[in-house]
């Protein structure tokens, strides 16, 4: 069963585009900050570079522009998109293969407008639709950091694996014209209001919408700011459901306190939930390195978002399932599969163990209408992030080669209808679809195929 079964799932797949002339591959690494160059700098320059370093962490640039095992920011991460694989680019200050000859205007055009140095359009996996809201002074700090605080690496960019004619970039100009907002020009300081600061971070550098907002037929985010309904209401990415961050009690953040949100972003877990999937890397690479004040501002802003379902009510605990499991009176396949595979960690009460094995009972992730994340976790398992705030590390194994599609559907249906949970049943066909999409091992042959 899912050891990591509630949380905010991100996993920047669409949110990771190259801003060089050709995309370059860049899997994720475990290094947070590259070694700075030795060039002398004034105190003011050092402060600007340090500010840029912090903002680059807030934007999680390293996650998409660093290949697994590669040099920081040297590109090479393969990013799957609906039209083929794109590779992130080298954004180190190397003059031959990186962005060392970019002027500030070149850099700003790429980051906030989606236009490469040669004038071509970038694929919208580079979240320039969000970065358009970043103030020019913050872009200048980022530019100072990438030019003077990052070690140059000579590493050529990779071409995309997108077939012609989809590989042509000129149509992207019309995508930008239709869906990308104008870059802001207002560079005045933000008012001293945590909610305003939180909105600025969420909508801009943190680009939360790239994963947590559903997309339209043009693969555009349906909203880039709070529209009272779709913005941050959840979306499927990388085989996970990036959960609803609005105020819904059942499947959103309605029952989360601001302290819960801060603890989650800082340590990757709370007393009742834990990060999984792409959000694990977001916490490791980005949010754990942000200041307490900024995390509190993000939490304060998220708590202002109204629920999608304004008529929804909070779930209430129901001990009947726990009693039936303990008495052995529930002999359904779902209940027995839970006892055999899940109860040791998540307990027959479904409450798990605080900050170790997340609760399944009344979990917003468990109660989401879309069971994609839960299926993915049961199939392939997951791990909590490594963080300074929560240095202990827990994970759960995958059950793809142990449980059939029917077993997984039954156990998840049991979980989603027990202890007060109330979510739609899961079908074997849904499990089969996710199993194929995430390339999990084939189900065991011992049992009857659905």
Mean pLDDT within 392-396 = 88
Neighbours of 336 (CB within 10 A): 17
Between CA 92 and CA 97 the distance in angstroms is 8
Mean pLDDT within 246-255 = 95
Q: Summarize the annotated binding site for heme c as residue ranges.
A: 61, 64-65, 208, 211-212, 342, 345-346
- % of the chain at pLDDT higher than 90: 77
Write down the mean pLDDT value for the chain.
89
> Which residues, 6+ apart, have CB-to-CB distance to 182 below 8 Å?
132
- pLDDT, position 85: 87
- Crossing angle of the two packed helices 292-302 and 258-267, in degrees rounded to 10: 130
Residue 205's nearest CA partner among 133, 266, 290 is: 133
Between CA 124 and CA 114 the distance in angstroms is 7
Length of the chain, in residues? 450
- Crossing angle of the two packed helices 428-437 and 372-380, in degrees rounded to 10: 70
- pLDDT, position 448: 53
- pLDDT, position 32: 44
Report whether 184 contacts 138 (CB < 8 A).
Answer: no
Strand partners, 242: 235
Residue pLDDT, tens place only, 42-56: 888 999 999 999 999
Q: Which fold has domain 320-437?
A: Cytochrome Bc1 Complex; Chain D, domain 2 (1.10.760)
**Please, which pLDDT band fits residue 169 given cuts at 50, 70 and 90?**
confident
Q: Summarize the annotated binding site as residue ranges.
A: 61, 64-65, 208, 211-212, 342, 345-346
- pLDDT, position 41: 65
Q: Delimit the CATH 1.10.760.10 region(s) of the chain.
A: 320-437
Question: Residue 232 has which token pair?
Answer: 């941050």
- pLDDT, position 26: 33
Residue pLDDT, tens place only, 6-46: 343 333 333 333 333 333 333 333 344 444 444 456 888 99
Neighbours of 55 (CB within 10 A): 20
Q: Which fold has domain 194-302?
A: Cytochrome Bc1 Complex; Chain D, domain 2 (1.10.760)
Output the pTM of the full model: 0.87
Between CA 30 and CA 60 the distance in angstroms is 12
Between CA 216 and CA 11 the distance in angstroms is 19
Mean pLDDT within 347-365 = 94
- % of the chain at pLDDT higher than 70: 90
């Amino acid at each position: 069963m899912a050891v990591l079964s509630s949380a905010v799932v991100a996993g920047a797949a669409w949110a990771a585009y190259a801003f060089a002339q050709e995309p370059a591959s860049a899997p994720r690494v475990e290094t947070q900050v590259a070694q700075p160059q030795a060039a002398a700098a004034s105190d003011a320059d050092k402060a600007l570079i340090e500010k840029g370093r912090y903002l680059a962490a807030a934007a999680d640039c390293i996650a998409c522009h660093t290949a697994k095992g590669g040099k920081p920011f040297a590109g090479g991460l393969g990013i799957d998109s609906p039209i083929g694989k794109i590779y992130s680019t080298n954004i180190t200050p190397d003059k031959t293969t990186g962005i060392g000859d970019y002027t500030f205007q070149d850099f700003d055009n790429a980051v906030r407008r989606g236009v490469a140095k040669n004038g071509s359009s970038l694929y919208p996996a580079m979240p320039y639709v969000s970065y358009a809201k970043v103030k020019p002074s913050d872009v200048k700090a980022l530019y100072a950091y990438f030019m003077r605080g990052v070690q140059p690496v000579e590493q050529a960019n990779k071409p995309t694996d997108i077939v012609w004619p989809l590989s042509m970039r000129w149509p992207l100009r019309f995508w930008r014209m239709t869906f990308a907002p104008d870059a802001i020009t207002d560079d005045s300081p933000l008012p001293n209001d945590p909610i305003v600061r939180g909105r600025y971070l969420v909508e801009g550098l943190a680009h939360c919408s790239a994963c947590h907002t559903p997309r339209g037929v043009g693969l555009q985010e349906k909203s880039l700011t709070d529209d009272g309904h779709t913005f941050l209401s959840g979306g499927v990415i990388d085989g996970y459901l990036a959960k609803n961050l609005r105020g819904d009690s059942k499947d959103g953040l309605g029952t989360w306190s601001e302290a819960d949100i801060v603890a989650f972003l800082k340590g990757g877990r709370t007393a009742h939930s834990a990060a999984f999937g792409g959000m694990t890397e977001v916490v490791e690479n980005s949010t754990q390195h942000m200041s307490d004040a900024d995390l509190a501002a993000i939490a304060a802003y998220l708590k202002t978002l109204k629920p999608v379902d304004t008529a929804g009510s909070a779930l209430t605990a129901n001990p009947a399932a726990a009693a039936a499991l303990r008495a052995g009176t529930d002999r359904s396949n779902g209940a027995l599969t839970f006892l055999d595979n899940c109860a040791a960690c998540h307990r027959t009460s479904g409450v798990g163990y605080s900050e170790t094995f997340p609760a399944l009972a009344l979990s917003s992730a468990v109660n989401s209408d879309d069971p994609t994340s839960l299926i993915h976790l049961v199939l392939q398992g997951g791990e909590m992030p490594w963080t300074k705030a929560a240095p202990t590390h827990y994970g759960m194994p995958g059950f793809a080669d142990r449980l059939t599609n029917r077993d997984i559907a039954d156990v998840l249906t049991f979980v989603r209808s027990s202890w007060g949970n109330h979510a739609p049943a899961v079908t074997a066909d849904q499990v089969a679809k996710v199993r194929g999409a995430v390339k999990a091992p084939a189900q065991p042959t011992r049992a009857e195929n659905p």
